[in-house]
């Protein structure tokens, strides 16, 4: 099979810096519709009387009498563009429940229903991380998201979202929104519908898809609602609408959901998900001959809830054939690359295992104690078989715990290995924590262990202080050293501040994690001021300024950058970023940009000007552009690119991307082009075809990835995946490998 994790390259420039900062509930009054609950009051869920649940149809239309008699909340307030002002369009939210599920109804009124934007039908496309502002942001559609905090710990929760088409999106939020997992997939149901009043949606979330404590009378859950009115670029929330100390991802800012009593406990809550896989593959061997082979395999994933909120996952003969390949990029740095995790088993509750410094849109995380892509993926060879593993994650009282052990098989001359992780975080106060973590990797007589402690303190809601200290130990010579970090982040509406200091010793080694560079002290200090001028259609204007300084542990300068960034955003949704910086780099060791072009030891100025911009995604056609011009290791770098996205209907989405990097340094010059085409066709919310075609002119690599995904029942999938890689030093079209795989999974809840 073509390797879905083959090594690719990412454009990352050395000057980049972080800029982001059991009794039944009382019967409800069924004898008539009640007035909306008053502002500041909790929302109350009402148990559906026995025998009436069958009358509830999840079709997006709130036509059942159960909904019309439920008590709504409708006091959403704007976060953008007018903070604290009532939303320009009314949103009604109602909640019911029975022994099977939690039901949420949303009636999104709109005075111009024909202008409601709904171009997304495919699953998992409605929301995305907001890299500059933190948290989650909606894509190009009108949409509604709900947040549930069942343990009411003010730290973690689960998000469900939809649009007028009934497209599905879910995510896990942890650490007060600082860790967001948009790749998690839950089992639930939603439907949307357009109405003369605007649009409406119905959510049905089975209790078995949620983790919650034992039911207690009057014990509330955290709850919030977030709506975007796309033609106005208006954001409205039920709670947490404040620009300072607010935001949908701020779980502690959520309101209260009351009335959930007598919720079912279903024993071990056991889920079994076996898979069967068959495929055919052709691959070029060492003798430049194509070898053919067939594959027939099976495996099993098991999930059970040992106690409320504590989940045990088991996996046997794990396979990830359906995972999309990484984006093809060009690497213009001397550092290792970092690619996000996409494999299902590692995604649920993955935020528990976060320890280190988060990355940003321009550079990878400098230090991560645990990085799950170290398991089952070899940088040079590709996928390594996973024999099996176990993961225990969740909450026990005021603690968040995580235990993981995975065993990989022998492959490509690599020995069998065992990966182990232990993590605990203790709640301190309302939103703070102190934690500890241990990672261990062993195999072939070698071992590496890393231990660490960390913590987070939120002061006044807007000041966040993060710190950690880690110690590494390695069998044999070297590998014993330390790393630490202190960070302070203030995110206000008018002002912002980011301070970060990181130190990684010269012998630090974390083979279960990710370290960009060792023997380094790095300090970042950046400030932001925001204006909201009522001119030229502007919504806001941000100006950033600051610096970063990098030295060795003995204080020899390695890098510095001093810069200013200008970031206007218009009411229409258009935005751009103009950056300029002066920077200098000292190379103690040379490195290769390509096989024919290298950069020798020396001191270099790397001053650059950068521009990034995008049009509003509410339109059927949207575009992104980027450009970089500046000095580059004694020469010049000129980079330009962009993408064009077309969404003529909810079923069809097309994306064409192109980037050119023109490099001219004293040892030579080269041009690297990356071209990509993404296409998807959604027959329904359950049947989707995705195509990704990429070409890298520098590596003369041409790749194709086609995936058909049919959700034949909730939580159960049929995948048909075709992959092909072509290109070598002789001809672009020479076949390297090709594979066709069919995989079927079946979720059984026992």
Residue the block writes with tokens 């703070």: 432
pLDDT at 21: 32
pLDDT at 217 > cutoff 80: no
Distance of alpha carbon 245 from alpha carbon 41, whole angstroms:
20
Residue 80 · residue 235 · CB < 8 Å: yes
The predicted pLDDT at position 683 comes to 94
For residue 224, is pLDDT > 50? yes
Q: Across all residues in the chain, what is the average pLDDT?
A: 87
- Checking if the pLDDT of 680 tops 90, the result is yes
Q: Is the pLDDT of residue 247 over 80?
A: yes
| Average pLDDT over every residue of 359-377 | 84
Check residue 37 and give its pLDDT. 40
Radius of gyration of the chain (CA): 26
Q: What's the token pair of residue 645?
A: 């996205």
Q: What predicted TM-score, i.e. pTM, was given to this entire model?
A: 0.84
Measured at the alpha carbon of residue 133, what is the angle toward residues 132 and 137, in degrees to the nearest 5? 105
Length in residues, the chain? 750
- Tally Cβ neighbours within 10 Å of residue 446: 14
Nearest Cα neighbor of 333 from 652, 11, 714 is 11
Residues in a beta bridge with 529:
495, 543
Q: Residue 364: pLDDT above 60?
A: yes
Q: Is the peptide bond before 81 cis (omega within 30 degrees of 0)?
A: yes
Return d(Cα 104, Cα 188) in angstroms, integer.
Answer: 12
Backbone angles phi, psi at 373, to 5 degrees: -75, -5
Per-residue confidence band for 326, with pLDDT thresholds at 50, 70 and 90? low
| pLDDT band with cut points at 50, 70 and 90 for residue 3 | very low
Burial bucket for residue 436 (CB in 10 Å: 0-12, 13-18, 19+) = middle
| CB within 8 Å of 289: residues ≥ 6 apart | none
Check whether 131 has a pLDDT greater than 50.
Answer: yes
Checking if the pLDDT of 552 tops 50, the result is: yes
The Cβ-side half-sphere exposure at 155, using a 13 Å CA radius, reads 23
Is the pLDDT at 9 greater than 50? The verdict is: no
- pLDDT at residue number 146: 97
Tokens of 380: 């040079």
In the predicted structure, residue 128 carries a pLDDT above the cut 80: yes
Alpha carbons 500 and 239: distance in angstroms, whole number: 30
The vertex-720 CA angle with 704 and 125, nearest 5°, equals: 75
pLDDT of 673 strictly over 90: yes
Q: Is 352 helix (H, G, I), strand (E, B) or coil?
A: helix
189-201 mean pLDDT: 96
CA-to-CA distance for 635 and 629, rounded, in angstroms? 11
What is the C-alpha to C-alpha distance for residues 424 and 431, in angstroms, rounded to an integer?
Answer: 15
Residue 113 has pLDDT above 50, yes or no: yes
Name the pLDDT band for 324 (thresholds 50, 70, 90).
Answer: low
Torsion sign across C-alpha atoms 314, 319, 324, 326: positive
- Contacts with 114 (C-beta within 8 Å, 6 or more apart), sequence order: none
Q: What is the DSSP letter of 68?
A: H
Residue 411 DSSP one-character state: B
**For 500-532, b where at least 16 C-beta lie within 10 A, e where not — what string?**
bbbbbbeebbbbbbbbbbbbbbbbbbbebebee
For residues 682-696, one letter each, b for 16 or more C-beta atoms within 10 angstroms of the residue's C-beta and e for the rest, the string is beebeebbbbbbbbb
**Residue with tokens 């258009």, as numbered in its chain:** 574
Q: Is 251 helix (H, G, I), strand (E, B) or coil?
A: helix
**Is 298 within 8 Å of 274 (Cβ atoms)?**
yes
* pLDDT (mean) for 493-510: 95
Q: What residues have CB less than 8 Å from 509, skipping those under 6 apart? A: 448, 472, 474, 478, 479, 481, 515, 518
Sign of CA dihedral 331, 336, 342, 343: positive
Give percent of the chain above pLDDT 70: 91
How many whole angstroms separate alpha carbon 85 and alpha carbon 271? 45
Residue 231 phi, psi (nearest 5): -65, -20
CB-CB contact of 233 with 190 (8 Å): no
- pLDDT score at 201: 97
Q: CB under 8 Å to 212, separation ≥6 — which residues?
A: 150, 151, 221, 263, 308, 309
CA distances from 167 to 95, 126, 619, 712 (A): 20, 7, 18, 16
Q: In whole angstroms, what is the distance from residue 265 CA to residue 214 CA? A: 8
């Amino acid at each position: 099979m073509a390797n879905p994790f083959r090594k690719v390259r990412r454009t990352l420039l050395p000057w980049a810096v972080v800029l982001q900062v059991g009794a039944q509930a009382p019967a409800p009054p069924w004898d008539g519709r009640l007035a909306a609950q008053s502002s500041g009051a909790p929302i109350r869920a009402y148990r559906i009387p026995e025998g009436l649940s069958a009358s509830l149809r999840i079709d997006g239309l709130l036509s059942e009498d159960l909904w019309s008699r439920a008590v709504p909340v409708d006091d959403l307030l704007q976060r953008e563009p007018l903070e604290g002002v009532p939303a320009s369009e009314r949103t009604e939210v109602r909640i019911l429940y029975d022994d099977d599920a939690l039901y949420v109804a949303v009636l999104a009124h709109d005075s111009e229903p024909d202008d409601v934007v709904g171009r997304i039908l495919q699953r998992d496309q409605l929301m995305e991380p907001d890299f500059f502002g933190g948290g989650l942001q909606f894509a190009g559609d009108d949409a509604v998201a709900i947040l549930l905090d069942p343990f009411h710990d003010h730290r973690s929760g689960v998000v469900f979202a939809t649009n007028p088409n009934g497209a599905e999106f879910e995510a896990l939020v942890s650490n007060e929104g600082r860790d967001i997992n948009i790749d998690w997939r839950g089992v639930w149901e939603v439907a949307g519908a357009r109405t003369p009043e605007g649009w409406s949606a119905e959510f049905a979330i089975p209790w078995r898809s949620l983790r919650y404590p034992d039911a207690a009378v009057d014990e509330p859950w955290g709850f919030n609602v977030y709506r975007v009115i796309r033609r106005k670029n208006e954001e409205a929330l039920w709670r947490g609408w404040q620009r300072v100390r607010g935001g949908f991802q701020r779980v502690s800012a959520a309101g209260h959901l009351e009335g959930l009593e007598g919720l079912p406990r279903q024993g071990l809550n056991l889920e079994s998900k076996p898979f069967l896989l068959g495929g055919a593959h052709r691959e070029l061997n060492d003798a430049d001959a194509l070898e053919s082979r067939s594959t027939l395999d099976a495996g099993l994933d098991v999930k059970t809830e040992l106690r409320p909120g504590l989940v045990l996952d088991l996996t046997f003969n794990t396979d990830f054939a359906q995972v999309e390949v990484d984006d093809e990029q060009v690497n213009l740095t001397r550092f290792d690359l970092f690619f996000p995790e996409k494999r299902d088993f590692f995604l649920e509750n993955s935020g528990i295992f976060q320890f280190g410094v988060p990355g940003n849109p321009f550079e990878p995380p400098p230090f991560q104690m645990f990085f799950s892509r170290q398991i089952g993926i070899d940088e040079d060879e590709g996928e390594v078989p996973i024999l099996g593993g176990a993961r225990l994650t969740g909450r026990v009282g005021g603690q968040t715990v995580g235990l993981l052990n995975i065993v990989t098989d022998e492959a490509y001359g690599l020995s069998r290995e065992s990966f182990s992780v232990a993590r605990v975080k203790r709640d301190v106060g309302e939103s703070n924590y102190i934690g500890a973590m241990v990672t261990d990797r062993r195999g072939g007589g070698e071992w590496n262990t890393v231990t660490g402690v960390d913590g987070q303190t939120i002061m006044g809601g807007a000041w966040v202080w993060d710190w950690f200290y880690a110690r590494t130990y390695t069998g044999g010579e070297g590998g014993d050293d330390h790393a630490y970090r202190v960070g302070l982040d203030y995110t206000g509406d008018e002002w912002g501040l980011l301070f970060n200091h990181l130190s990684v010793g010269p012998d630090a080694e974390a083979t279960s994690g990710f370290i960009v560079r060792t023997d380094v002290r790095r300090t970042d200090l950046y400030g932001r001021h925001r204006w909201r001028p009522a001119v030229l259609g502007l919504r806001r204007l941000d100006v950033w300024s600051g610096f970063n300084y990098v030295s060795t542990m003995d204080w020899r300068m390695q890098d510095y950058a001093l810069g200013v960034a200008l970031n206007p955003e218009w009411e229409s949704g258009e935005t751009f970023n103009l950056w300029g910086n002066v920077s200098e780099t000292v190379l103690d060791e040379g490195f290769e940009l390509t096989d024919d072009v290298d950069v020798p030891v020396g001191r270099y100025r790397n001053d650059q000007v950068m521009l990034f911009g995008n049009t509003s995604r509410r339109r059927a056609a949207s575009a992104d552009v980027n450009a970089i011009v500046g000095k580059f290791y004694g020469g010049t770098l000129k980079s330009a690119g962009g993408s064009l996205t077309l969404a003529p209907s909810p079923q069809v989405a097309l994306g064409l991307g192109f980037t050119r990097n023109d490099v001219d340094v004293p040892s030579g010059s080269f041009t690297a082009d990356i071209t990509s085409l993404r296409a998807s066709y959604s027959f329904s919310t359950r049947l989707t075809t995705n195509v990704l075609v990429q070409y890298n002119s520098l590596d003369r690599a041409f790749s194709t990835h086609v995936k058909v995904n049919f959700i034949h029942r909730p939580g159960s999938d049929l995948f048909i995946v075709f992959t092909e890689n072509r290109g070598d030093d002789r001809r672009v079209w020479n076949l390297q490998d090709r594979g066709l795989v069919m995989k079927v999974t079946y979720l059984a809840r026992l």
